[in-house]
Amino acid sequence: MATAQPVEAGYGPGVALLVIDLQNDFATPGGSLYVRGGEEIVDAVNAQAAVAVGAGSPVFWTQDWHPEVTPHFVTAGGIWPPHCVAGTPGADFHPDARVTGEVIRKGVDGADGYSGFSTRDPRSGLRSSTVLGDRLAAAEVRTVVVIGLAGDYCVKETALDGRRLGLDVVVPLALTRFVNLRPGDDAAAVAELRAAGVLVEPGPPAG
Ligand SMILES: [Zn+2]
């Protein structure tokens, strides 16, 4: 099956794979914040994770995990419909996802959790770190491959945070999909990633 081999990276102990938010509310048609085509990448993500694990790469899966009431949601002043509420089916990983490796939850305390590395309190603007950066540092990871959902939000923010931490970052486009809240958000996200030094690869078609 299709695997996007990051030519510059190649998997191995110094290269981690970060699978972002492959959860029902994003990846399943009918999910409350469904990203069009999200379900199409699940098999290819599984294949990529298997390649990474086989080569000795650490693999992490992020999971958006919100309280019922949070300023992240439109119901309390935010911009998003309620999604990935802790313990609900929408917060579960896609049923076909084969989750191997550590799960990193984000947005747990009412913060915005776009990046796998950090969260931001939407009221105070205060940022705090998840355990992901420490885990990667402890494993002496220097390169991360970031895949999953969505390309213009959590994948992008995770990739940019990776660059801020001094990591080499690869984003294979075949293994993500974009929300495109506004037309062209996908192209703008790719441009922003490239400007930050992220290697954006087309990769083979997913699925
Ligand atoms: Zn969220």
Over the chain (207 residues), the average pLDDT of each successive run of 10 is 50 95 98 97 96 95 95 91 97 97 92 90 86 96 97 97 96 95 95 97 55
C-alpha to C-alpha distance for 93 and 193, rounded to whole angstroms: 26
Residue 182 CA to ligand 1 center (angstroms) comes to 18
Q: What is the largest CA-CA distance in the chain?
A: 45
96 is catalytic: no
Parallel/antiparallel/unpaired status of strands 168-172 and 143-149:
parallel
The separation between CA 53 and the C-alpha centre of its own chain, rounded to angstroms, equals 18
84 is catalytic: no
For the chain, list the domains and their CATH numbers.
Answer: 15-201 (3.40.50.850)
Amino acid symbol at 41? I
156 is catalytic: no
Give the pLDDT score at 69: 93
Token couple for 49 = 């994770």
Residue 189 CA to ligand 1 center (angstroms) comes to 18
Q: What is the DSSP letter of 139?
A: T
Residue 186 CA to ligand 1 center (angstroms) comes to 18
Give the pLDDT score at 2: 41
Residue 114 CA to ligand 1 center (angstroms) comes to 7
Q: Provide φ and ψ at 204, rounded to 5°.
A: -75, 160
Catalytic residue among 64, 84, 106, 112: 106
Residue 10 CA to ligand 1 center (angstroms) comes to 30
Give the pLDDT score at 19: 98
Catalytic residue among 25, 64, 154, 186: 154
Helix, strand, or coil here: 89? helix
8 Å CB contact between 110 and 71:
yes
